[in-house]
Amino acid sequence: MNQRDRIDFEEALQLYEMDFFELGALADKKRQELHGKKSYFNINRHINPTNVCADTCKFCAYSATRKNPHQYTMSHEEILKIVADIDARGAKEVHIVSAHNPNVTLEWYLGIFKKIKTAYPHLHVKALTAAEVDFLSRHHGLSYDEVLDLMVENGVDSMPGGGAEIFDEKVRDYICKGKVTSDQWFEIHRKWHERGKKSNVTMLFGHVESRENRIDHMMRIRELQDITGGFNCFIPLVYQTKNNYLNIKAPITANEILKTMAVARLVLDNVANLKAYWVTSTVNLALVAQEFGANDLDGTIEKESINAAAGAKSANGVNLEDFTALIKNSGFIPVERDSLYNEIKVW
Ligand code: V47
């Protein structure tokens, strides 16, 4: 898109005031220009190897040091058993996100990736959020460059988009004081992109943030993407209200979620893919979001613990046949992709 046609901050805010369906149609037009009626997904498995966390984010129900008293840390053998199982059933990606565990070694973190990559070189390892990279750097006295180089050496292929939350410093201070700052989050992703690697970027919304904060978040992403082009996908994560310290009484409405998806599709003109993460939006709303700019539905997931702990219905993933049938029945074309958005199969 021509720089002059770019939506600026005020225009982005105005988009929220548009007629709901007209806004949806505008985002859908953009989506169709980019992807037609294709909706991407991959066959993946989320693994959350430990919930022991040194940080105290108010929105988190997963961390064992807060409301969840049930601590766990998986052994490499346990993790490899899961990977053997999903590999046998055709998974292409393993998505590994942990809490910030001060009781295990750096080798425990890195060994997970090394062992998976050695035994299953064809599997894409998407692992370590920028928040984990920052934690490992602080806890083990390493620079970001050193941690990122170790990730490459040990077989991490791409980085997930977690830990972004909301970049506005005032909101960030309120919801997750003490963890990776916004500037640090971007520094880590910039350095990762400079290594020729791709990553995703999330936004946690539907809690105390304003529409202005969401747009500011998107604008900051657009700025780095102009420089590196390294973001594959933007993922707005709908805040789940259960078992955490934010105490939000009125969850965000479906209307506001869909508007935010549409605004994101229009503002992020340089990020190709917009993910409706069904885990936090529900499958039903993710299907509707396909008409509000979303072209990616993540994947079958199989198991997920972080959002499930806060009330999402994602503990057991979705069945592949049901998933593809739902995409088809909602008027879209289910296209299985790899982790870098190369098409594998039209279902
Ligand atoms: O950063 C924590 C979020 C994220 C809650 O890159 C919550 O493809 C909602 O990074 N309600 C981790 N969200 C998950 C993540 C992710 C997920 C899906 C796809 C990708 C990708 C990355 O989970 C955290 C945090 O923002 N989270 N608690 C909650 N109560």
Domain assignment present for 341: no
Q: Tell me the residue ranges of DSSP E strands in the chain.
A: 38-42, 44-47, 93-96, 124-127, 199-205, 231-238, 273-274, 296-299, 333-337, 343-346
Contact 299, 42 (CB under 8 A): yes
* Numbers of helices and strands, H then E, in the chain: 13, 10
Contact 99, 52 (CB under 8 A): yes
Q: Is 175 in the pocket of ligand 1 (CB under 6 A)?
A: no
For residue 54, give the 3-state DSSP assignment: coil
Burial label, 16 (beta-carbon count in 10 A; 0-12, 13-18, 19+): middle
Q: How many CB atoms lie within 10 A of CB 162?
A: 21
Nearest CA-CA partner of 159 in 267, 50, 235: 235
Domain assignment present for 337: no
Domain assignment present for 148: yes
Best residue for ligand 1 mutational test, from 182, 202, 279 (most atoms within 8 Å of Cβ):
202
Ligand 1, atom 16, residue with closest C-alpha: 162
Task: Identify the residue whose tokens are 């791709």.
Answer: 198
Q: Is 235 in the pocket of ligand 1 (CB under 6 A)?
A: yes
Dihedrals phi, psi of 232, to nearest 5 degrees: -75, -35
Domain assignment present for 88: yes
CA separation for the pair 76, 227 (Å, rounded): 37
Domain assignment present for 217: yes
Q: How many residues are present in the chain?
A: 347
Best residue for ligand 1 mutational test, from 306, 314, 337, 340 (most atoms within 8 Å of Cβ):
306
Which atom of ligand 1 lies closest to the CA of 240? 11
Task: Identify the residue whose tokens are 């529900």.
Answer: 282
CATH number, domain of 294, equals 3.20.20.70
Identify the domain containing residue 108 by its residue range: 15-312+320-330
Q: Is 129 in the pocket of ligand 1 (CB under 6 A)?
A: yes
Whole-prediction pTM = 0.96
Domain assignment present for 121: yes
Residue type, 209: E
- Whole-number Å distance, alpha carbon 194 to ligand 1 midpoint, is 24
Residue ranges in the chain modelled with pLDDT below 50: 1-2
Q: How many domains in the chain?
A: 1
Domain assignment present for 6: no
Domain assignment present for 10: no
What pLDDT is stored for residue 67 in this prediction? 62
What pLDDT is stored for residue 66 in this prediction? 62
- Whole-number Å distance, alpha carbon 174 to ligand 1 midpoint, is 18
